[in-house]
């Protein structure tokens, strides 16, 4: 029995891949009971992409730990009836299909709301439930391109090494669910939540767009590489440093650090300028020593190493914060909320269908009805 802050909240998760499972991972680590419905006809193929953790992809093992698994062809009439009965017993339903897909199976919000008025039905899609792009396909790169985030990476545009829109969308879905739960305490009824990955990408460019929307026009983006005081610099050994000289006190400390190799007077302001010559001078200065040598004297100057994933995995500070946790003998990323609530890592995801029989019994199916669903292939159980 969970004792986390969301203990007592039950989430029916019909999503797959990254954004939806990330949202339900956050909720699960906070103590919610999450049951993942895996459709054999449209499986979460992240599970089978590789086998680093008990036959599963390591990312799948992290995103879906602590969750229960029901394997069900919910695109069939009998399978959709099972999901309907499950939804009647849950607080939240999370899905990540294009608008209208679940309506084909009778699993849209109006029909499920009729059997459970308290249900919070969260639809997490690419471009939202309405609007001219609602039915369009898209991936993280597309959302970032469309919403102005990619333009901030410079010319030519860069492909980033992580999925900003996917992860932001998942966080926003979890936040929307929690807001709806609070609202339900007042009203006694749930609601349909329309959350889109593109909407999440928009938030990343919002500060720059605020000027455009206010009619102020463009300006150099000092936080996107235009400022020599807020950039990455390569050291003598080929390693990189991230230099964040925003405030005057950090710019002064940076000047003291570079004094030994700096030629001429140290400028009073290195952040708000966009002088390319100052940028070249800083590049030449940092190229005089190795990363380790610079860090040895950096102190509290907002200078940090650009670490590789291998270096990050060895970082002791992450374990001190609880951001790396051991789950059944495997080290995994911890929830970003682990330090706030003292969260543990939970358990690894079970095989597909491990909880199918238990949930069918919980939904008042008789033993004979359960066996009929299993024998017909509508419901699958782990031992099969």
The residue assigned the tokens 């895996």 is 38
pTM over 0.85: yes
CA neighbor of 204 nearest in space, from 164, 252, 146: 164
Residue 107 has pLDDT above 60, yes or no: yes
DSSP 126: S
According to the model, what pLDDT value does residue 1 have?
Answer: 58
- What would the mean pLDDT of 1-16 be, rounded to a whole number? 91
155: its two tokens: 């010319």
- The active-site residue, picked from 51, 139, 237, 268, is 139
pLDDT 10s digits, 247-270: 999 999 999 999 999 988 999 889
Whether 139 is a known active-site residue: answer yes
Q: What is the per-residue pLDDT across 347-366, written as a single tens digit (0 to 9) for each?
A: 999 999 999 999 999 999 99
Sign, CA torsion 244/250/252/254: negative
Our answer to whether residue 166 is catalytic in this structure is yes
Q: How far is CA 229 from CA 280, 290, 359, in A?
A: 12, 19, 57
From the list 29, 108, 140, 166, the catalytic residue is 166
Mean pLDDT, rounded, for 208-213: 82
Closest by Cα among 302, 309, 299 to 232: 302
Asked if the model's pLDDT at residue 330 lies above 80, the reply is yes
In the structure, what pLDDT confidence band is assigned to residue 180 with cuts at 50, 70 and 90?
Answer: very high
Average pLDDT over residues 69-73: 97
Out of 144-153, 352-361, 367-376, least confident range: 144-153
pLDDT at 219 over 80: no
Does the structure show a pLDDT above 70 at 383? no
């Amino acid at each position: 029995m969970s004792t986390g802050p969301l203990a007592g909240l039950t989430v029916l998760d019909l999503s797959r891949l990254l954004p939806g499972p990330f949202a339900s991972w956050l909720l699960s680590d906070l103590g919610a009971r999450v049951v993942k419905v895996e459709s054999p006809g449209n499986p979460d193929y992240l599970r089978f992409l590789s086998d680093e953790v008990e036959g599963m992809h390591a990312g799948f093992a992290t995103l879906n730990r602590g969750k229960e698994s029901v394997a069900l062809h919910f695109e069939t009439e009998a399978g959709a009836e099972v999901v309907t009965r499950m939804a009647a017993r849950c607080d939240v339903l999370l899905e990540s299909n294009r608008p209208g897909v679940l309506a084909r199976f009778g699993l849209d919000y109006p029909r499920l709301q009729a059997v459970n008025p308290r249900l919070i039905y969260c639809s997490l899609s690419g471009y939202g439930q309405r609007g001219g792009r609602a039915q369009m396909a898209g991936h993280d790169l597309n959302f970032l391109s469309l919403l102005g985030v990619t333009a901030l990476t410079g010319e030519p545009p860069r492909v980033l090494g992580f999925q900003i829109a996917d992860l932001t969308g998942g966080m926003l879905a979890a936040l929307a669910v929690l807001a709806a739960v609070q609202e339900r305490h007042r009203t006694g009824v749930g609601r349909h939540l329309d959350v889109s990955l593109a909407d999440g990408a928009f938030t990343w460019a919002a500060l720059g767009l605020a000027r455009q929307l206010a009619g102020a026009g463009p300006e150099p983006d000092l936080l996107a590489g235009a400022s020599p005081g807020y950039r990455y610099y390569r050291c003598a050994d080929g390693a990189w440093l991230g230099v964040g000289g925003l405030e005057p006190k950090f710019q002064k400390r940076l000047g003291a650090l570079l004094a030994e190799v700096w030629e001429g007077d140290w400028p009073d302001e290195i952040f708000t300028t966009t002088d390319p010559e100052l940028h070249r001078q800083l590049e030449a200065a940092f190229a005089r020593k190795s990363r380790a040598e610079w860090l040895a004297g950096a102190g509290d100057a907002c200078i940090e190493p650009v670490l590789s994933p291998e270096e990050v995995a060895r970082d002791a500070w992450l374990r001190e914060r609880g951001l790396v946790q051991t789950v059944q003998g495997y080290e995994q990323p911890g929830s970003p909320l682990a330090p706030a609530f003292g969260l543990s890592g939970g358990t690894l995801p079970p095989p597909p269908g491990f909880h199918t029989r238990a949930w069918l019994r919980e939904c008042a199916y008789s033993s004979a009805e359960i066996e009929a669903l299993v024998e017909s292939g509508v419901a699958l159980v782990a031992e099969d």
